[in-house]
């Protein structure tokens, strides 16, 4: 029997007889292996991005459904003769539900898988949205808003956790931006369609019917078209996070940021659309166009901020756009004409857009996969705290003083957030964020 060394020697001798030096063959083998690895990586990437695209299409349908009536929900309450001071309570009850359910939803998705959680939640969402058309009393709408906030906590935070699962530090910002880019496309036409339908029919019910139908369609498409999603969509062994998240400085600062920004947003949430229609005399159609224009600006801002954060750092792409936010909100509160208000809210769209994409990318960088559902749920919960107290504060101030003051309070809260991020958030270089225990 020939020894391995002798067999190898004979093989190299045979190659030499054909005029092919053995060293060149070795190099060719290495080059071929590298090419095969590159092809495999590319094929895996294409497969992942194809799965993500299908997933984004499902979420886009849900976003369209929510945006169709969401821009006018406060006006729907006004049509039911609800006082301005009480409208803040509807936003707060919605946020209270999200606060109570976001963390359990994230933990559940970490344990049993993202897909089953989202599928069941889409079915419940369709029933809730349709039920708005059947509500006749304030108490009934309160119950529906609570249920609405609870069920959405099982959809969008869990969806972001899945996107974290399927991305890396090098491309997470870009993919998060793409997620927002594609889902935002669905919301661009929705406010216009909703505004025109409301002006033409004189009723909000058609908006609820169409939205419920979209949610049912999303559930069917999701269950039939999106099957094997791999990590994050299979049953996994659950590990309790203990203190890992709370001992991570980056996570704590991001949670504080979300709480402060959503407190600022909550102050304006019961005021903005009513101020535009009642004070500046905007039509429903023009308000719908504003929602669409903001969606367009928001969409591209999210994408470019996420992509740039991969290269220039997450912290920079959190702080500087928020300065634009402050200018937009502050000047909008001084507006006397609809056109100036319209333009300033486009600046708000530019400034507010990046923090969601960039902060979730940052969380994905520093949190292990088995805890990302919990982290995403924690962000939603902290945001809900801001949205519980913010609307109550904003609606009360708007009732007692005037509807311009909440704009300035919102701007001040965002300024405090910028200062907090500047001093407390660790500086990162490109996509390399320090993992702090």
Mean pLDDT (the chain) is 81
Structural domains in the chain, CATH included, are 54-424 (1.20.1250.20)
**pLDDT tens-digit profile of 345-391?**
999 989 987 777 899 899 988 888 888 888 999 998 998 888 888 88
**pLDDT tens-digit profile of 134-188?**
988 888 988 999 999 999 999 999 998 888 887 888 888 888 888 878 787 777 7
**pLDDT band for position 28 (50/70/90)?**
low
Length in residues, the chain: 437
**pLDDT tens-digit profile of 214-256?**
999 999 888 876 655 444 444 444 444 556 677 888 999 999 9
**pLDDT tens-digit profile of 69-84?**
887 888 888 888 777 7
Spatial separation of the C-alpha atoms in residues 274 and 74, rounded to whole Å? 7
- Retrieve residue 126's tokens: 């369709």
Between 52 and 395, residue with greater pLDDT: 395
What's residue 248's pLDDT?
A: 87
As a three-state string, the secondary structure of 35-74 is HHHHHHHHHHHHHHHHHHHHHHHHHHHHHHHHHHHHCCHH
Q: What is the mean pLDDT of residues 199-210?
A: 89
* Cβ neighbours for 15, distance < 8 A, ≥ 6 positions apart: 21, 22, 25
**pLDDT tens-digit profile of 289-320?**
887 788 788 878 888 888 888 888 899 999 99
Which of the residue ranges 19-28, 81-90, 140-149 would you say has the lowest mean pLDDT?
Answer: 19-28
């Amino acid at each position: 029997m020939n020894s391995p060394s002798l067999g190898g020697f004979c093989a190299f001798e045979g190659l030499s007889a054909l005029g092919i030096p053995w060293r060149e063959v070795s190099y060719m083998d290495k080059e071929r292996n590298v090419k095969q690895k590159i092809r495999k990586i590319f094929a895996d990437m294409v497969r992942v991005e194809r799965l993500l695209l299908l997933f984004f299409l499902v979420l886009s349908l849900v976003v369209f459904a929510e945006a169709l009536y969401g821009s006018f929900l406060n006006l729907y309450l006004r049509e039911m003769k609800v006082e301005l001071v009480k409208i803040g309570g509807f936003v707060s009850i919605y946020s209270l539900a999200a606060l109570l359910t976001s963390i359990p939803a994230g933990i559940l998705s970490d344990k049993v898988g993202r897909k089953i959680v989202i599928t069941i939640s889409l079915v419940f969402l369709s029933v809730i949205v349709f039920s708005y058309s059947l509500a006749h009393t304030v108490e009934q709408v309160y119950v529906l808003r609570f249920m609405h906030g609870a069920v959405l906590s099982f959809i969008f935070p869990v969806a972001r956790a899945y996107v974290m699962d399927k991305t890396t530090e090098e491309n997470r910002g870009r993919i998060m931006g793409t997620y927002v880019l594609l889902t935002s496309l669905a919301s661009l036409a929705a406010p216009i369609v909703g505004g025109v339908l409301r002006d033409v029919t004189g009723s909000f019910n058609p908006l609820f019917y169409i939205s419920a139908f979209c949610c049912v369609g999303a559930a069917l498409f999701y269950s039939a078209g999106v099957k094997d999603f791999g990590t994050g969509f299979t049953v996994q062994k659950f590990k309790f996070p203990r203190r890992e998240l709370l001992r991570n400085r980056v996570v704590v600062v991001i949670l504080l940021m979300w709480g402060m920004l959503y407190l600022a947003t909550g102050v304006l949430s019961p005021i903005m659309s009513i101020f535009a229609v009642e004070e500046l005399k905007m039509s429903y159609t023009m308000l719908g166009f504003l929602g669409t224009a903001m969606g367009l600006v928001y969409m591209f801002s999210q994408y470019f901020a996420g992509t740039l954060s991969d290269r220039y750092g997450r912290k920079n792409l959190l702080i500087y756009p928020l300065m634009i936010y402050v200018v937009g909100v502050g000047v909008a509160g001084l507006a006397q004409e609809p056109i100036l208000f319209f333009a300033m809210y486009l600046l708000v769209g530019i400034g507010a857009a990046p923090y969601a994409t960039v902060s979730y990318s940052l969380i994905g960088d520093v949190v292990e996969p088995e805890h990302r559902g919990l982290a995403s749920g924690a962000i939603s919960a902290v945001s809900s705290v801001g949205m519980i107290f913010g609307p109550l504060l904003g609606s009360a101030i708007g009732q007692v003083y005037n509807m311009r003051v909440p704009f300035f309070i919102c701007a001040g809260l965002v300024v405090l957030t910028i200062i907090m991020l500047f001093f407390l958030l660790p500086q990162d270089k490109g996509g390399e964020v320090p993992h702090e225990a």
